[in-house]
Structure 1
């Protein structure tokens, strides 16, 4: 059973179209990344564990539920930073840890340069946040790090994926759910997704 989930929500499709446009300036680009991240995180967390509770309302007693799972957000620097705020708005108690992984432009292999994970995990579920699942190298490296750290449940949340990157991540980590707004055609020779949206980091921070 495939764990790849591509959103079919019309708001996701609408906002992703705006995000792709070359006319979208950095400020609006960041806003769209934040909004899309919240929508995708909503879908990615549909299976979180809860326990039944009762609460007193002004009119009586209601049966409800509260989360059992504790959540960690792991943005891959730097492009993943723009996704944190949107997810945090849904889950303000989530812990956030940063992983710095960049893709070597010659080898297209991931290089880790920053890791601020504590000694032991304090959460039951981690969401890896990275707008683009291109070659899959950074995502695989991030999952490797989190599994070695001791996290049992890991999900990848991104905006756009390539067939090649998805296949690589599934092959290396078939237990990791992948949540995306879209799957595009292919990678080009430089490892960029086509048609994609360009460099997500540059477009967020105005450095392109």
Structure 2
């Protein structure tokens, strides 16, 4: 599994990570969503370098230009609801892509422990397609693995790119260990060291879904 971690080098991506972490800036949901969306655009651009391309001829008003365009069928898959702004950012660049949505949630018990449940999936056929599976937070890795298994019920992708903004070391290790494959690549903005007792990333940024769309009951 190829793993790409963006904040190992300086780029504009780091500015957006700094802003989505800032508890003062987080009070503006519109800005939070837009920053996640912009990071999705950057992730899409970087992932596009890994695709296959073909040559085409473009007729301009003055002649013929020889250009290269990607020659892949792309499906953008997202774990609801937190993944929606990131999904939109990737879709902004792969504007002809098909789309897949997976509903995953934490079901808590009386002791405060929880299991991850997949409740819903809407997807086209994924056979021989490039899948970009997006979720802004890769905490324990359990929900990502379940989403991965769920989308595989819709076909066998040619390659899967997993894209997250912030991950924990435990989550990265979990994905690399339990989803190891030559046809999976992992794209992460930043990796934090810890998870707390509720499996939230520390320092992380909080609950991405609540910050983007408001608190849920």
Q: TM-score, normalised by structure 1?
A: 0.92
Give the one of 84, 88, 95 matched to 2:87. 84
Deviation at 1:152, TM superposition (A): 2.9
Question: Contact 1:72–1:123 at 8 Å: present in 2 too?
Answer: no
Taking a change above 3 Å as real, the CA distance of residues 109 and 44 of structure 1, as seen in their structure-2 partners, is: farther
Deviation at 1:46, TM superposition (A): 1.3
1:66 lines up with 2:43 in the alignment: no
Which segment drifts farther, 102-111 or 194-203? 102-111
Which segment drifts farther, 17-26 or 97-106? 97-106
Which residue in the other structure is 1:50 paired with?
A: 53
Which segment drifts farther, 47-56 or 70-79? 47-56
Question: Contact 1:26–1:205 at 8 Å: present in 2 too?
Answer: yes
Please state whether the residue corresponding to 2:199 is helix, strand or coil: coil
Question: Contact 1:41–1:157 at 8 Å: present in 2 too?
Answer: no
Deviations 1:41-99 (A, max 9, x none): 21122111111112222332222112210111111011011112211111111111210
For residues 12 and 35 of structure 2, what CA distance do their matches in structure 1 show?
11
For residues 123 and 159 of structure 1, what CA distance do their matches in structure 2 show?
26
Please state whether the residue corresponding to 1:158 is helix, strand or coil: strand
1:10 lines up with 2:11 in the alignment: yes
Give the one of 149, 152, 159 matched to 1:144. 149
Greater strand fraction, Structure 1 or Structure 2: 2
In structure 1, the gaps of 5 or more residues are none
